[in-house]
Each structure stands twice: as structure tokens, then as C-alpha cells.
Amino acid sequence: MAHEKEIIRDTSIFTVARYAAYFFTILTGLVIARVLGPASFGVYSALMLIVTYSQYSHLGLLPAMTKKVPFYRGKKEYDKARETENIAFSGAMIIIILISLTLIIASFFIKNLDEHTINGMRIVAMIIVLQQIFFFYQNHLRVEKKFLMIGKTLLVYSIAYFIFIIILIIRFRLEGIFFALLIAYCIVLFYIFKKEKFKFKITIMPKKIVQLMRFGFPLLTIGIMSIFLISIDKLMIIKFMDKIQLGYYSIATLIAGIILFIPKSISSVIFPHLLERYGEKEDKAHIKNYLFQPTLIISYLMPVVAGLIFITAPVAIYYILPKYIQGITAVKILVCAVFFMSIVSTSNHFLVTINKERKLLLVQPISIVVAIILNYVFIINGYGIKGVAIATAITYFFYSTCILVYSFRYYIHKVVPLIKFFTKTYIPFLYTILILALSNLIPITGNLSRDILLTVIKLVIFIVFSLPLVWLANKKTGVVKTFFDMVISKWKAK
């Protein structure tokens, strides 16, 4: 792969920074969950869905910018790239401010929610404006390949959020959480303005804004459906179960989300390279390795990450968050399930790069329907959040298989070689599941010292049995050797 060392370096920096930031995010989540309890934590999770969905209020301007700017850079059209960023930023800010005002006004007419929830909604209305600005700068930095700066901003944001959660949550409870989030965004934006010379300029050009929206609308739809796909389980719980069950399940999704950081980091780093590379010749053969190599790396290394979390998370919940013990089974299922969403992260970007967004737009709604049906069947048959987690796992498998077929058929045209490729891709996951199933036969005993010892023994055994996967990943891609060669050379340089 071209730029291999640069990509591995940036991915390593970005991943470490994201995990460092996520460490504080996990601490924040644990504090929120422990202080609020399952019922209020469910309300918090529901309000956070507003924050999550609002990031797509730009009506396609942000993804249009993210795709067009690197493409223009690949063609050396730098003026067009700068103009595109300014137009996209201006249009998105107008939209998000209107949405924020609408939320605030609507909050005064809602009668069936308690005062704390209404206040939380009003604070969220202010948060989404700052969040939109933050996301635009994040994507600008991504286009510029300034992944170290992105990592720093994530770390500043997560530390600030954690500190102000500690200060505000005890006194202000639910409102305190959202005040802390608001302050965290203010701090990180101030940090960006101090460090980053580039400033977006307000450029009101209605025709070009509409053109960007049209270009970005399919990408926006993909983004919305992606969020809907990974949150349909929570929405089904909200509809058919109670907020306590949502609280249990939210812990499971919080922990399972840890696994997605590495594939998201890989795909985030590769995407601008992929777009620039494709912009040079617009030839699929020119970008083949940008699809194959990352997919193989993820297929061999992500099961190892999933296994480490699968073994340690239940014990952590049992002793740190005992009120959430009923969510442990859901945690185990989701930790395994997110492998399927991890493995398609690069394929999603590949299809967008070659302008085959319609493939994603075909698979996503079908997957959402599958998720709704499966969730409904498991819930009405009394399987609870365990059934919801199983339904989610099946949906993720269906989605990932379809996307991988669509992506790799551009290079693997015959059925038999495609089946062989799928076998090689999924075998590491199945191998890991077998090991984890055996380790799961040893339950939590309720004795802290004994459970710590058993967990350490499980981890050691799992790591030993995982070494062949690491070896194979290096044999097929050279990623491990390249990574350590870079670390050693940098250490010697000092």
C-alpha cells in the first residue's frame, strides 16, 4: 500500500489518542451511570440520542466537504477545496442554529416530561451548535491529515468533560451532565482556535450550498441510516420495554463501543488518502490495497481486542457497577457482534470513494428492517435485552456480509475465490469465539481476590492462544513489523 508507513504512524497516533480520550469517556460514563442509577441513566441515554442525530443536521454539507476536498487536492485544485470548506461550514451553521432555536421553543410546549428532562433538552439545544462547529474542525483536520491534532482535541474534550461531570453531577444531576458537556465543547473549541490557524469564513452562496447538499445528500442518508442501524436496538427497548432495561443495555453498548475505535481510526486515516489517490487517476486498480490490507488487519487483530474486553468487562461491572449486573450477558454478545461492524469500516469508505453509495443505500434499509423484525420477535417472546443483543448481532452479520460482497466483487469476480476470501476473513473471529466460549464456562464467584486471579489467568491463556492471529496478521500485511520498526527507529533517534 502506498504511504504505508505514514498511514500506520497516523493510525497508531490517532488510535492511542482516541483510547486515551476514551479512558476518560469511560470514567465519565461510569460516574454518570453510578450516580443516576438505571432509570435516570435511561433518560440520559434517550436525550443523548438527540445529540447523536443532530450531527446529521447539516443536510449533507459535511460529508460533501469531506469527500470533495481530498478529491480536489488529488487533482491539485486547492482553491476549490478551500471554497468548498467555507460554503459547507456556512450552510451548516445556518441550519443547526435554526434547529437549536426550534428545540428551545418546543421545550416550552411539552407537558408530559418532568422539569429535569425539559431543562436537559434546552441545554442540548445549545450543545448541538457547538458540536457542529467541533465536527467541522475535526473533519478539516482529517482532510489535512493532522491526526495528532485531532487526537489532542479529543483528549482535551474528554478530560474537560470528565472534570466538569465530577464538579456538577452531584449537585445538578441530569442537568449537570449536560452543562458539563456544554462547557467541554467550549473549552475544546477555544483550544482549536488557539492552535489551528485555519478559520472557516462565512460564505453565503445559496446555489453552491444547494449543489453541495445534493452531492452530499446520499452520504448524509448513509450516515443517518448508519446511526439508525446501530441505535435501533435502543429505540426498540424504549418502545417495548422500560427505561431501566434501557439503562442496563446502554452500559453494554458503551463497553462494546470500545472495540470500534481501532477500525474507525484505521478507516479515518485511510479515507483522505483513498480519496486523493482515486482523484489522481480515478482507477479502481489504483486503490486496491487500500481495501484489502486494512480489512485483513482488522479481521485478524480485532477479535483479539474483543476477547480482552469480553473477559475483563463482566468482572468490572460486577464489582464497580453492581446495579448493572443484568446487562453483563448483553455486554458479552455485543462485544462479539461489533466485530462485524468493524470489518466493514474500510469497505464503506471504499464504496463512497468510487461513487457507489447506492450499494450502501440498498443494504442499510434492508438491514434496518431485519433489525426491527428480529428485535420485535425476541422482545415479544420474553428474551429481554439478551434477545435484543442477539438480534443486533444477527443484523450486524447480515449487513457486513452484504457490504463485503459488494466491495470485493470489484476485484474478486468468481464465486469460489470470493468464498475463500470470506472464509479467511471470518475464521479468526470464529477461532476467538471458541476460546471465549470455553473461558465463559468459568463464572464469576463473588470473591474479589479469586475473581481477579481467575480473570488474569483467563487473559494470559487468551493472549497465548491469540498470538497466532497476530503472527498471521503480520505475515499477510507486515503491519506488526512495520509498527515496531517505526517505534524502534524513533526510540533510537532520541
Per-residue pLDDT at 477 exceeds 90: no
Q: What is the pLDDT of residue 10?
A: 66
**Rg for the chain, CA atoms, rounded:** 23
Backbone angles phi, psi at 196, to 5 degrees: -100, 125
Q: What is the pLDDT of residue 492?
A: 55
426 vs 336: CA distance, rounded Å: 12
Q: Are 196 and 149 in contact (CB under 8 A)?
A: yes
Name the residue among 430, 454, 432, 437 with its Cα closest to residue 312: 454
Q: What pLDDT band is residue 2 in, cutting at 50, 70 and 90?
A: very low
| Grid coordinates of 153 | 482535541
DSSP secondary structure, 408-434, as one string: HTTT--SHHHHHHHHHHHHHHHHHHHH
N-terminal to C-terminal alpha carbon distance within the chain: 28
121 vs 103: CA distance, rounded Å: 7
Consecutive H or E run containing 472 = helix 448-477
Average pLDDT over residues 227-233: 85
Sequence-distant (6+) residues with CB within 8 A of 53 are 224, 227
Name the residue among 322, 181, 339 with its Cα closest to residue 251: 322
Q: What average pLDDT is seen over the chain?
A: 82
Average pLDDT over residues 437-444: 86
Per-residue pLDDT at 485 exceeds 60: no
Sequence-distant (6+) residues with CB within 8 A of 179 are 123, 164, 168, 172
At residue 288, the 3 state secondary structure works out as coil
Average pLDDT over residues 73-79: 73
Sole residue written with cell 476473513: 425
pLDDT per position as a tens digit, 135-185: 888 888 877 777 778 888 888 988 898 899 889 887 777 788 888 999 999
SS3 content of the chain, % helix, strand, coil (to 5): 90, 0, 10
pLDDT per position as a tens digit, 352-399: 888 788 888 889 999 999 999 999 999 999 888 899 999 999 999 999
Q: Are 477 and 337 in contact (CB under 8 A)?
A: no
Q: What is the pLDDT of residue 488?
A: 55
Q: What is the pLDDT of residue 83?
A: 81
Q: What is the pLDDT of residue 280?
A: 66
Q: What is the pLDDT of residue 489?
A: 56
pLDDT per position as a tens digit, 273-330: 677 676 666 667 777 777 888 888 888 888 988 899 999 988 988 888 888 888 888 8
| HSE-CB for 69 with a 13 A CA cutoff | 25
What percentage of the chain has pLDDT greater than the value 70?
A: 90
